[in-house]
Structure 1
Amino acid sequence: MNPESTSKHIFIIGSKGIPAQYGGFETFTEKLTALRKDERICYHVACMSDRNEDFVYNNAQCFRIKVPNIGPAKAVYYDIKAIDYCCKYIEKNQIKGAVVYVLACRIGPFIGRYKRRLAKSSCRLYVNPDGHEWKRAKWNALIKRYWKFSERLMVKHADLLICDSKNIEKYIKQTYARFNPNTMYLSYGSETKKSALPENDPKLQNWYEKFGISKGQYYLIVGRFVPENNYETMIREYMKSKTEKDLVIITGFEGNKYYGKLKDLTNFDSDPRIKFVGTVYDQELLKKIRENAYGYLHGHEVGGTNPSLLEALGSTDLNLLLDVGFNREVGEDGALYWTKEEGCLARLIEKADGLSRDERDRLGTLARKRINDCYSWDKIVGGYEDLFISGDKTSD
């Protein structure tokens, strides 16, 4: 495909790039490019790298951005270099009417100058505000102030803010009403397709044997290993419960200081049911592990629509979710809910243990219906293509 002959150029920056190895924005970009239906769209995708070069993947024009290892500033540097590349490419090739879609609000203090450059070529700036990055516990006070300030400026300069959560859209409209932000809701996607792995697959059986786990005899947690995902609450409550099932935690805990802190706070290492098993990057294996779980625990409370929650609803029958707006919005009546009140989750786990097969099947059917009706990748990609081709509501 000759990118200069297509009618609509879409530049995507802010993900680590494709092919996707992990991460919500990376999977989104992978699906958006892989499932492209409209031949008029030409995607250009920034990819974080240790070298600069271009390549084609999923029929998208991918450009690598070499990024030095400079700590928390690495993502900001990457986004600035990526949007600078986009502006130069647009100017060099005299492209008109392109869209630069920035995933997350990391470069607010710098975005004004790039917005002006894009406007000279009649190009538009779309932003996905992601979740409340400035609330994350891993950041110190100075970095939190930067993220909040950056978010404000990204909202101010964006032509359109694409929110993957209705609660995030509401927050943007209320918090930044003085900017009269132009927003729309377009969620993240998922699927309900079963894993390709059979039950007797050696990969699955070896994994179970390695950690002493049995099909249907474990609750599962999958997510980033950060305090705001409420690992402490879930582990404490699990230890209080009388369940005989294991709690299997799939997360990158190795070398993370939070792991030692959590051990000191909860003494989880004294409970043989609590099993930290590291990460699982094989997506078919991970899906099979989800399918075979008795139930799934979800404690995320910062951010918008969470990919791991969508994946759980699409594959695990019984889902126990922290009762916050982001999670209620997604799960609706296809899940059970708990609060951080002492004893609440422990009681819910014991109640869940007593559910009949029919009751679990009913919840699983409702959960998968939520995914199929509102969060299928086909629906999400179609919504984005309609937006990219037709333009947003203020493009006139």
Structure 2
Amino acid sequence: MNHVFIIGSKGIPAKYGGFETFVDQLTRQKLTGHIQYHVSCQSDNDDEFVHNGARCFNVKVPEIGPAKAVLYDVLSLKRCLSYIKENRIENAIVYILACRIGPFLSSYRKALAALGAKVYVNPDGHEWKRSKWNRMIRAYWKYSEKLMVKNADLLVCDSVGIEEYIQTEYKRFRPVTTYISYGADLERSALSNSSPKLREWYGKHELLPDAYYLIVGRFVPENNYELMIREFMASKTDKDLVLICNVEQNKFYERLLRSTNFPKDKRIKFVGTVYDQELLKKIRENAYGYLHGHEVGGTNPSLLEALAGTKLNLLLDVVFNKEVGRGGAVYFTKAAGSLARTLEHADALTEAQRDAYGKKAVRRIAEAYSWSKIVDQYEHLFLEAGLSRKEDVFLKKVVSFSKQG
């Protein structure tokens, strides 16, 4: 039995968040009986329970502000080390999601290595670039990332662009990397257009199917809300702009209000969050188009979900988005007038043209980002790591012989 310990997500069952959804899918769609998952869950107690066949262990973390996530990962790692030692588990893998605990990892890695365990890290995106952090926190993120790369046995990158960045930026450490993307759900929403739940939501916000562009994502500057709102206001589209996000009356909101005065444009509608996943999926499917302005690295879950469900996707032209969308999307730049023109071009597309984009997008998700594919790749990775040296040599001989035959 191969034991894989996953820390860094808030835990399962998933309520929100990319890492949480990933862990939920990884455990739910498990095919092999040779992997036992152990999942760290942030909580107000230290209980244990089973979900999707995984052993879930709660980690109680005090409220200490922004450093809570760092402490959570350290405490989780400590629990993993203790469990591996007490249960004499051989060839374990500790898979750490994100690069929060670089300054603390070295000593734990040595202790885990002494027990035969390996440390895998998912570096996520460029967290140190996020403008929501002050200069000191951003410096910590970059320093922590460096130490995570230095001390990992393997880095699992969910974006080709991130893998290239790790290999280039930290070449001196000779990092061992592999690429396995994030996944997406291709199933259509169970709701119909006549669903009372959907009709009530549309009525509340004065919306109609196929008559709005949609944005779903965290309300932070690096997702380019200001650019998209300003360009939308400058466009001649007669459709609405629906923003599903966790809007807070913070400095960013006040700055956005001053710079765009968006309330004067009745087409722009901040509608808050939608936690009902079937409803959110249907809202995506019924959008005329989806706008995606993320630019801070990695394969973004909301982009995959949009490509899987929305016919027409308008993406900011950066390497991470083009890597995912390819020919199944339309692209705009940050240059003045680019998105406004793209919106007007999108409005002029025929239904057949929108359908063609939608089919390309779904094909792209099915070929490269389906959860079944991602889970299969992870299981191969974890099982391969659990092979003994003799088994590994034997397997390589079998593969070599089969190729020759």
**TM-score (normalised: structure 2):** 0.95
* DSSP-derived class of the 2:33 partner: coil
Return the letter of the residue paired with 1:31. Q
* DSSP-derived class of the 2:49 partner: strand
- Select which of 328, 346, 363 maps to 1:334: 328
CA displacement, residues 302-343 of structure 1 (integer Å, 9 cap, x when unaligned):
020000000000000000000000000000000000000000
Give the deviation of 1:264 after TM superposition. Answer: 1.3
Q: 1:394 to 1:272 in 2, by over 3 A?
A: farther
Could you tell me which residue of structure 2 aligns to residue 25 of structure 1? 19
CA displacement, residues 44-84 of structure 1 (integer Å, 9 cap, x when unaligned):
00001111111111110001111112111010000000000
* DSSP-derived class of the 2:226 partner: helix
CA displacement, residues 87-107 of structure 1 (integer Å, 9 cap, x when unaligned):
000001010100000000000
Could you tell me which residue of structure 2 aligns to residue 372 of structure 1? 366
- Select which of 223, 242, 253 maps to 2:236: 242
Instruction: Work out the percentage of aligned pairs sharing the same amino acid.
Output: 61
Q: Are residues 1:385 and 2:374 paired?
A: no
Equivalent residue runs for 1:185-334 within 5 Å = 185-334=179-328
- The answer on whether the counterparts of 2:212 and 2:240 sit within 8 Å (CA) in structure 1 is yes
- Select which of 335, 343, 348 maps to 2:342: 348
- Tell me how far apart the structure 2 counterparts of residues 82 and 38 of structure 1 sit (CA, whole Å): 25
Q: 1:59 to 1:101 in 2, by over 3 A?
A: same
- Tell me how far apart the structure 1 counterparts of residues 64 and 166 of structure 2 sit (CA, whole Å): 30
Q: 1:393 to 1:366 in 2, by over 3 A?
A: farther
Could you tell me which residue of structure 1 aligns to residue 147 of structure 2? 153
Give the deviation of 1:257 after TM superposition. Answer: 3.5
**TM-score (normalised: structure 1):** 0.97
Q: Which runs of 5+ in 1 are unaligned?
A: 1-6
Q: Are residues 1:60 and 2:92 paired?
A: no
Could you tell me which residue of structure 1 aligns to residue 10 of structure 2? 16
Return the letter of the residue paired with 2:140. Y
- Select which of 170, 176, 180 maps to 2:174: 180
- Tell me how far apart the structure 2 counterparts of residues 392 and 58 of structure 1 sit (CA, whole Å): 21
- The answer on whether the counterparts of 2:91 and 2:386 sit within 8 Å (CA) in structure 1 is no
- Tell me how far apart the structure 2 counterparts of residues 87 and 391 of structure 1 sit (CA, whole Å): 18
Give the deviation of 1:191 after TM superposition. Answer: 2.2
CA displacement, residues 358-389 of structure 1 (integer Å, 9 cap, x when unaligned):
00000000000000000000000000000000
Give the deviation of 1:265 after TM superposition. Answer: 1.3
Give the deviation of 1:254 after TM superposition. Answer: 3.4
- The answer on whether the counterparts of 2:128 and 2:141 sit within 8 Å (CA) in structure 1 is yes
- The answer on whether the counterparts of 2:161 and 2:297 sit within 8 Å (CA) in structure 1 is no
- The answer on whether the counterparts of 1:191 and 1:372 sit within 8 Å (CA) in structure 2 is no
Could you tell me which residue of structure 1 aligns to residue 395 of structure 2? none
Equivalent residue runs for 1:53-202 within 5 Å = 53-202=47-196
- Tell me how far apart the structure 1 counterparts of residues 258 and 13 of structure 2 sit (CA, whole Å): 38
